[in-house]
Structure 1
Amino acid sequence: MEDRRFPFLDGVAGALVDGSGTIVGCTSAAEDLLALPARALVGRALRDLLADPDAWRGPEESGPGGWDGRVTVRTGDGRPLNLYVRVLTLHGDNPNDPTATRQVVLGAKSSTVARWRQDQAFTRELFLQDRFGLAVFDTDLQIVRTNTHLLPYSGVPPTLSGLKLSDFLQPADALVLEAHLREVLETGRPLVQAEGLARTVVDPRSGRMMAISAFRLQDSDGVVIGLTVLFTDITEQHRSRQRLALLHRVTAAAGGSLSVTGTAEGLARAIVPDFADVAVVDIAAAVFTGDEPVPDPTGRLVLRRTAVAGPSESAPATGDTVHVKADGTADRTTAAEPAHGWEITAPLAARGILLGQVAVRRDRWKDRYEDGDRLLLAEIAARAALAVDNARRYTREHRAAVGLQRSLLPPAVRTVAAVSTASVYLPTDSAGGVGGDWFDVIPLSSARVALVVGDVAGHGLQATATMGRLRTAVRTLADLDLEPDELLVHLDDLVSQLLFEGDFTGEAEEGDTAEPVDTAPAGRRHRPDPGSVGATCLYAVYDPVTRACTIASAGHPPPAVAGPDGTVHFLPVTPGPPLGVGGLPFEATEAVLDEGSVLALYTDGLIERGEGDIDEGMAEIQRRLAAVARQDRPLREAALQLVAGLPPTRLRDDVTLLLARTRAVPAESTATWTVDPDPAAVAKVRADATARLADWGLDDLAFTTELVLSELVTNAIRYAGGPVGVRLIHADTLTCEVSDGSSTQPRMRRARLTDEGGRGLYLVAQLTDRWGSRYTAAGKTIWTEQELPTDP
């Protein structure tokens, strides 16, 4: 009775019993189940196999439909075996002949039958579930059977038997799902919770997100006959994950920039296309300058369309002006709205300040926004508003820092008797803001000029304030007419004091007013840690009369010089230690420059390339300086060309460049005399000076010059002794110099009415525009300056 073509009979034993209850035939499964051969079973009374013979019901007791129930049999090895049997009665041609009646007995182990019943119940209930979809596919991926809850959405046919997924789903979605199922058929590996989008052909909107699990079906011979697929709708969970992920992306994108425009652009790009097809961010105009937006007298706030993301054909243009009311709602009478309108607009408000708004729109064929989407946009706007406000505050502080630094620097273009200069300052685009780079052009006595460039490590207001202190100190020391190496010694001592007092690095905590404890022996200071020193400086003095340039460096890169013929070289400066190390000397280098040479002073931000190769950076500057020198461009254009595109990557440090084109005072514009230490020689000096002023067309200055020379030469002869030198320089001012061999500096004092002397220097100061004295290798020089008369 067993047939492999009917696998549902596997494990079922069968026997044929005649009307007297004798076994007349059996299946091999019966032999296996009872552990008895057929010859031991055929011809034997069935009741003899039962543990309880009375439990058996013959044909006359079975009724027309037979019976079923549980019985216990004795197997060939003597073990009791619980079976579930089904007994069918077969009647012969003559119902009155009991010998013609037969019984077909089908039996299986009780445990096996229980499992069959569980399988049947499981399958039946599985197809009745309403929380997930169930489908059986054949090997061609045609649907054989489904429960009634498979994809109960618009566009799904009521009857799916015989259809493929591509018959009712969007081609792209069907292709993805069928690829998963085909892999299960081919490999036999189950598919567990794979996600796939299901959009129908009839309703191609956002569709439903399904979690798909599948396993292959095989018969008892291992032949693949199809697969079973479970579909679970996880659309809401998927949307929740998407919203959370979007919120994180927007927060990161909006907070990744300290630029107001960059923040708005990051916000718009993060929204499209996952949340909207078009997104627009409008920011109040005042935010771009770091100010707090204030509504106008009509209660409206002017917004600037700052960032737009989406297809260009459907997105509005940036730069439009938009107005909103004080409560954040759009003023439809003036707002520059796109033609199709917006589905929701959320205000960008932070810390009680309305900063702008964000508006989004989806294409019409997509799902409209739900309440959850509106809440998400409100949360996005709240987080983005904090980023915009942070960018606004940074803009305000950055502008203040840049303004402070630029106020501490000289004009970008300047002309004095010795040089004409042009400068460029590029602050780094780092979060710390501007830094401590500075330069200066300081007019000195006798038509000379000091060129200074320096760099304080770090960024922000602290570095800028420190830079201002050092620049002021340099100007003060320069006014003393110190030599470059001597000036750096004094500046180094000042920085060492600042480091010792904790005022240089700005490391003291806010509110820390404790006095510093000095544990060094009396009369000595701690030497600062070299790692805490963060300032370099290069100081150069150029004399247009001798064309000599004297330079000293405190850890700063050497200047470059472009000659009038276009050749460029770096001056052989011997750099000393950075400022603040203390105790080490500085060495001055002197070079004679041709008239019209271009001297380039810079900070290391100009030569430090992205890879840190300073030699490459210096070679590039040398090449560019040679190019602009040959073109003979104005200094301002040359300076801009030198920094254009340098470095090729984002700036790692501030860039400061100072270009100075040297000028020379011709020999005929100077006059020099040596005066014997005899009071009678003063008259001769006055006469010679008056004659020279006449040659220069400066007769208007003759009387004052005579008085100045008489006083200064007489004092030099009286107090210094030895030869006295006199020099006149006709440049942008008239300079009078008197030199002697004494190192005693003159002091101006106010004479009393009874004093016979003491009024000389006072008169000199009143008659001239500037005066002063400086030490020289041979003594000292007292100098005065007079403004040249202007043409009427």
Structure 2
Amino acid sequence: MATPAEETTPAVVLIDAEGTVIGWTRAAEELSGYRAQDILDRPAATLLPQADREDAVRRLAAREHWSGVAEIRHRDGHRVVVRVEGARLATAPGRDAWLVSATPAVVDLSGGTGTLLESLISRFPVAVAIWDLDLRCVWLNAEAERLSDVFPHYRLGRSLNELIPGVDTRSAKEAMRRVLSDGEPMIDREARWTSADGREERTLSTSLFRLEGTDDRPLGVCSLALDISHSRARDRLALLREASIRIGTTLDVEKTAQELADLAVPVLADYVTVDLAESVVPGGEPLQRLASTEESIPVFRRAGVASVYGGTPESLWPLGQAVFVPPSSPFTRVLVSGRSHFEPVLDTSPGTWLDQDPDRARVIHGTGMHSLIIVPLQARGDILGVAVFVRHHNAARFMRDDLILAEELAARAALSLDNARRYTRERTAALALQRDLLPRNLRGGDAVEVASRYLPSGVGVGVGGDWFDVIPLPGAGVALVVGDVTGHGINAAATMGRLRTAVRTLAYLGLPPDELLANLDDLVVRLAEEDAGADGLPLGATGATCLYAVYDPATRRCTMATAGHPPPALLRPGGSVTYPCLPSGTPIGLGLSSFKSIDLELDPGTVIALYTDGLIETREADLDAGMERLAAALAQGALPLESLCSSVISAILGDTPAEDDIALLLARTRATG
């Protein structure tokens, strides 16, 4: 029976100044396999692996006393891990020598063919290494050697103090020294290491433990490193982090559904569909009007699909089309119950629901689909549709962890879908109200020729309260109006309708522009007070900017005033574009009534361009830059007004969606006798 290492008689070796063995004990013979006559008068380096010899000589020469964990080479070739202590001796002639003692670091149960450490740890799926007090690697297993590409200090005899280009070991050294100093283990220290060529990156979870001798003195550090680069748990966390970034980037239902499908392929599934209820995907023929049979009924519309194969050959229905399912299928059960369907091994045998769905059965058999998850898309108590996850290319079946991940992804997507649905409903209603309240047939009579454009925002901020109007006045004159209500949505559209009606009413009284704006400001203040809530604060949008201009073709005079609105652009018949300097007025609704009018004389054929700030202002450019772009676009004044309207919008926006609502009104002046 083997004797524990702590009870083993130390092997004692005496080495002279030249590094020659001059003393040898029976314990040294048992430990190394060398008899005294085989080793005496030979270099002590004979006992060491080739990589350690040069360093051992340097260590002996540099210290009075040293200890640590090391490897010696047994006579039959295998290596033995030992605890070593050395002390400098002074001999009679005054020459130095060293007394070295060594004991096995582990129990040897292998009959001399290897140590217990080697037999148990060499094939252990965790990188194990032993470092001495100088942070030099004195032992490591095969798993550690495999990681040497990203952590080159996993080499026998290599110290963490050794500088290697591209490898920063400062934090590793600090951690080991701290463990050596206080003896407290360090558990699960995560770090990333990259290979010298930069092609490979590994994430290692490392734990450190201090190795101690029988006298409790530290001998070195044992490190255990687990490669978690491809850990399933790590991949799932990364996927969920990515989901928070990639799902719900817009308030568009179809885009959100497609984002879910694209994210899950191929990380989770080989084929994913997202099918939504009709109430979530408006438009198209109502599902209730589509023909159904005893075998299949139209339940969803396809909103998202992705596959590891190009062209999604597995999908029976293209995006936007109605999806038919058998009444007794797992799709309808999920829709009714609100619980996921988990079928790790898809049952395609006769007698299942697939008998009622031969088209799906054909695709399933043709592609080799073998594992299925169907998850309801639920948000705020409503089931919006289902997400279907399938594997056919990946031979591994879905596990319970995959189901949990699919449900988490579906839950995040459902919230984004519900937000998009609510936004779409409100936007549709607001846009319908906005368009209904805007004038349909603008006529400038004998005073002006007119053309206009209205574009709702295309980036999700909601429909605003932009408006324009052309109001024939008594006589031959005409009033031109453009305005922009504060806020977005139905309230802003409704406020716009009230202001447009009020401006028309005041215009028929023949008020000059400054007085009209003052009366409009007073009216809005009183309406806000009447509509205020219990706390005295307004319940909806109340403020607005407005530009009001009156043109008389008989005198060719144009009188205008502004309430916080950008000035009009004037395109002269010669092609020059100018912006008149209007006295700045406060926006409507503040109750300040600081408005002043100016008079301009316009040549016949002058184009007056009234607009809202959505045309000239963007996140990247201020008002001045936008006004310069508008002037350049208007310089094509020879075009008919309708064509000029389209040209201006195209020149400024291009293919970019409008960041805010845009109202544009062009009026070309005429002159009468």
Give TM-score scaled by structure 2 length: 0.61
Partner of 1:646: 652
User: What is the deviation of 1:301?
Assistant: 1.6
In 2, the alpha carbon distance for the partners of 1:444 and 1:135 equals 90
Distance 1:651 1:184, change over 3 A: farther
- The separation in 2 between residues aligned to 1:278 and 1:211, in whole angstroms, is 33
Residue in 1 that maps onto 2:310? 312
Distance of 1:252 and 1:660 partners within structure 2: 46
Partner of 1:754: none
Is 2:565 the counterpart of 1:556? yes
Query: Is contact 2:452–2:645 with CA below 8 Å preserved after alignment?
Result: yes
Q: Which residue of 1 aligns with 2:268?
A: 275
Out of 431, 437, 442, the residue aligned to residue 402 of structure 1 is 431
Letter in 2 for 1:255: G
Match of residue 298 from structure 2: 300
More divergent stretch after superposition (487-496 vs 564-573): 564-573
Structure 2 partner of 1:456:
485
Q: Is the 8 A contact 2:275 2:300 kept in 1?
A: no
| SS of 1:644 mapped into structure 2 | helix
Q: Deviations over 1:493-549 (max 9, x none)?
A: 11232444564xxxx4xxx3x6x59xxxxxxxxxx9xxx984211111223343332
Distance between the aligned counterparts of 2:203 and 2:584, measured in 1? 70
The answer to whether 1:358 aligns with 2:377 is no
- Describe the SS at the equivalent of 1:374: helix
Alpha carbons of structure 1 residues 344 and 415: separation in structure 2 relative to 1, 3 Å: farther
Task: Tell me which amino acid in the other structure corresponds to 1:483.
Answer: P
Q: TM-score w.r.t. structure 1 length? A: 0.53
Counterpart of 1:328 (choices 331, 338, 345) is 331
Deviations, residues 97-140 of structure 1 (Å, cap 9, x unaligned): xxxxxxxxxxx99xx89x647555895267347994368999xx
Residue 526 of structure 2 corresponds to residue 497 of structure 1:
yes
Q: Is the 8 A contact 1:134 1:229 kept in 2?
A: no
Unaligned runs of 5+ in 2: 1-11, 30-39, 42-98, 131-138, 161-168, 177-187, 194-201, 210-220, 333-353
User: Are the equivalent residues in 1 in contact too, given 2:442–2:469 (CA < 8 A)?
Assistant: no
Whether the 8 Å CA contact 1:412–1:424 is kept in 2: the answer is: no
1:512-527 paired onto structure 2 within 5 Å: 512=534
Are 2:514 and 1:485 equivalent residues in the alignment?
A: yes
- Deviation (angstroms), 1:297: 6.8
What CA distance in whole angstroms lies between the structure 2 residues aligned with 1:429 and 1:455?
17
2:422 pairs with 1:393: yes
Greater relative contact order structure (CA < 8 Å, 6+ sep):
2
In the alignment, the residues of structure 1 paired with residue 286 and residue 253 of structure 2 have an alpha-carbon distance, to the nearest angstrom, of: 14
Q: Quickly say closer, same or farther: Cα 1:182–1:213, change in 2 above 3 A.
A: farther
In 1, Cα distance between equivalents of 2:128 and 2:597: 93
Q: Determine which of 233, 240, 257 is the counterpart of 1:264.
A: 257
Deviations along 1:221-248, one digit per CA (max 9) or x if unpaired, are xxxxxx9996758699x32332244234
> CA separation in 2, counterparts of 1:10 and 1:427?
96
Superposed counterparts of 1:148-167, under 5 Å: none
SS at match of 2:600: strand
1:661 corresponds to 2:668: yes
CA contact (8 A) 2:570 2:607 kept: yes
Structure 1 residue 491, shift from structure 2 partner: 0.7
Question: Which residue of 150, 162, 176 maps to 1:180?
Answer: 150
Deviations 1:689-744 (A, max 9, x none): xxxxxxxxxxxxxxxxxxxxxxxxxxxxxxxxxxxxxxxxxxxxxxxxxxxxxxxx
Alignment of 1:604-619 (within 5 A): 604-619=613-628
Give, in angstroms, the shift of residue 484 of structure 1: 1.6
Q: What secondary structure, in the 3-state scheme, does the structure 1 residue paired with 2:546 have?
A: strand
Question: Aligned-pair distance for 1:486?
Answer: 1.6
Counterpart of 1:646 in 2: which secondary structure?
A: helix
In structure 1, how many angstroms separate the alpha carbons of the residues matched to 2:422 and 2:284? 8
One of 633, 648, 652 as aligned partner of 1:624: 633
Counterpart for residue 383 of structure 1:
412
Structure 2 residue 261 is matched with structure 1 residue 255: no
Larger Rg: 1
1:328·1:354 contact (CA, 8 Å) conserved in 2?
A: no
2:81 match? none
Q: Give the letter for the 1:540 counterpart.
A: A
Q: Distance in 2 between matches of 1:650 and 1:11?
A: 89
Distance 1:571 1:196 in 2: 63
Go from structure 1 to structure 2 and tell me whether the alpha carbon gap of 1:347 and 1:598 turns closer, same or farther (over 3 Å shift): farther
Shift of 1:550: 1.8
Q: Which position in structure 2 is the counterpart of 1:368?
A: 397
Alpha-carbon displacement from aligned partner over 1:535-585 (angstroms, at most 9, x marks no partner): 211111223343332211112111112233333222343332222343544
Please report how far the alpha carbon of residue 270 of structure 1 lies from its aligned counterpart in structure 2 after TM superposition.
2.5
Question: Residue in 2 aligned with 1:239?
Answer: 232
1:118-197, aligned counterparts within 5 Å?
Answer: 120=108, 124=116, 127-128=119-120, 132-133=124-125, 177-180=147-150, 182-185=152-155, 186-188=158-160
Aligned length: 496
Q: How large is the RMSD of aligned CA atoms in angstroms?
A: 4.8
Q: What SS does the corresponding residue of 1:541 show, helix, strand or coil?
A: strand
**One-letter amino acid matched to 1:303:** R
Compared CA separation, residues 11 and 564, structure 1 to 2 (3 A) = farther
Whether the 8 Å CA contact 1:535–1:579 is kept in 2: the answer is yes
Asked if residue 636 in structure 1 is aligned to residue 642 in structure 2, the reply is: yes
Shift of 1:409: 1.0
One-letter code of the match for 1:535? A
| Deviation of the 1:474 alpha carbon | 0.7
- 1:741-752 equivalent positions in 2, closer than 5 A: none
Structure 1 segment 33-48 matched on structure 2, within 5 A:
none
Distance in 2 (alpha carbons) for counterparts of 1:433 and 1:405:
12
Code of the residue aligned with 1:133 in structure 2: it is: P
Deviation at 1:369, TM superposition (A): 2.5
Gap runs ≥5 in structure 1? 16-26, 29-107, 139-143, 152-163, 166-173, 198-207, 216-226, 518-527, 668-792
Q: CA deviation at 1:490?
A: 0.6
1:446 equivalent among 444, 464, 475: 475
Q: Distance in 2 between matches of 1:253 and 1:231?
A: 33
For the residue of structure 2 that corresponds to 1:580, the secondary structure is: coil
Q: How many Å apart are 1:623 and its aligned residue?
A: 0.8
Contact 1:454 1:556 in 2 (8 A): yes
Q: Does the 8 Å CA contact 1:423/1:656 hold for their aligned counterparts?
A: yes
What one-letter code is carried by the residue in structure 1 that aligns with 2:652? L
1:349 equivalent in alignment to 2:341: no
